[in-house]
């Protein structure tokens, strides 16, 4: 029987996940595995899940599904509950199980860049990825962080995640960004283009993690590099969270990292050239 997995979200055409997962299957020598990108908004998620057959091993979830999927699952891993975001659904023994591999992806991406023990950190944005960023910071030993959002109301769910994670969160607006950047690590979870206006200010931080992966480098990444700072890009996070997903879907471990990274980089270059 063919085994299937896919990434769901809206919009989804830009997703790099198919290139990464398919490369992982090749690296593992797996045959009969298929991975697709499926356009799916919040209103269509329940029906899509209900229509999946026994050939399905798992799903990757991106915007806007990471929070709304909770009531559709049978079990959810503790970390995903704490973060308030599920980016991975595993079908096991007729049940739907939710996981969060974004945290793993962030920690691995930071470690690759040599960022393992920040003294203070600031997170930009209040979406689902912001909660994962807080959990990653906790993994690195921090118990407090600053969150910068456009409006205080946008911080509510991330603040609740911080409480579940046992972290102290200070919330500031972008008008207070200069004060908030008294840190040695900044993590921007903002969508593509949203951090551009603040690139100059953020470049003063020694290490900056921009979760955007295309187009790359972003204006923020260029500004940090020009100042001699450390830049971590979204591809590294996406790579490692995808590898963890493949391990969960297939039961095969370890997944070779470099062939998957090369596939992601090649896909980004091909899109830029096309």
Residues identified as active-site: 66
CA–CA distance, 16 with 242 (Å, rounded to integer): 10
CA–CA distance, 145 with 132 (Å, rounded to integer): 13
Interaxial angle between packed helices 257-273 and 17-28, expressed in degrees from 0 to 180 and rounded to the nearest 10: 140
Nearest to 265 by CA among 225, 234, 241: 234
CA–CA distance, 17 with 118 (Å, rounded to integer): 29
Q: Pairing state of beta strands 95-99 and 88-92? A: antiparallel
CA–CA distance, 209 with 199 (Å, rounded to integer): 12
> Residue 120, exposed/middle/buried by CB under 10 A (0-12, 13-18, 19+)?
middle
CA–CA distance, 27 with 15 (Å, rounded to integer): 20
For 87, 93, 94, 191, the CA distances from 56, given in Å and listed in that order, are 16, 12, 11, 30
């Amino acid at each position: 029987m063919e085994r299937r997995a896919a990434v769901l979200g809206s919009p989804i055409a830009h997703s790099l996940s198919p290139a990464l997962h398919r490369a992982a299957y090749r690296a593992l020598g797996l045959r009969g595995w298929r991975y697709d990108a499926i356009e799916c908004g919040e209103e269509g998620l329940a029906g899509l899940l209900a229509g999946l057959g026994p050939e399905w091993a798992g799903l990757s979830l991106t915007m806007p599904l990471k929070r709304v999927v909770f009531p559709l699952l049978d079990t959810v891993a503790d970390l995903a509950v704490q973060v308030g975001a599920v980016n991975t659904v595993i079908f096991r023994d007729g049940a739907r199980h939710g996981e969060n591999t974004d945290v793993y992806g962030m920690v691995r991406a930071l470690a690759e860049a040599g960022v393992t023990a920040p003294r203070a950190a600031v997170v930009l944005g209040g979406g689902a990825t912001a909660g994962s960023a807080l959990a990653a910071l906790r993994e690195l030993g921090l118990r407090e962080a600053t969150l910068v959002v456009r409006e205080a109301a946008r911080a509510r769910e991330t603040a609740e995640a911080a409480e579940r994670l046992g972290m102290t969160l200070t919330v500031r607006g972008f008008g207070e960004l200069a004060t908030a950047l008294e840190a040695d690590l900044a993590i921007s979870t903002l969508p593509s283009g949203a951090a551009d206006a603040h690139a100059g200010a953020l470049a003063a931080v020694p290490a900056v993690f921009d979760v955007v992966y295309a187009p790359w480098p972003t204006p923020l990444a260029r500004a940090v590099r020009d100042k001699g700072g450390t830049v971590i890009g979204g591809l590294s996070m996406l790579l490692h969270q995808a590898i963890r997903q493949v391990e969960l879907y297939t039961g095969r471990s370890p997944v070779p990292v470099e062939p998957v990274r090369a596939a992601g980089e090649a896909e980004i270059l091909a899109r830029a050239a096309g």
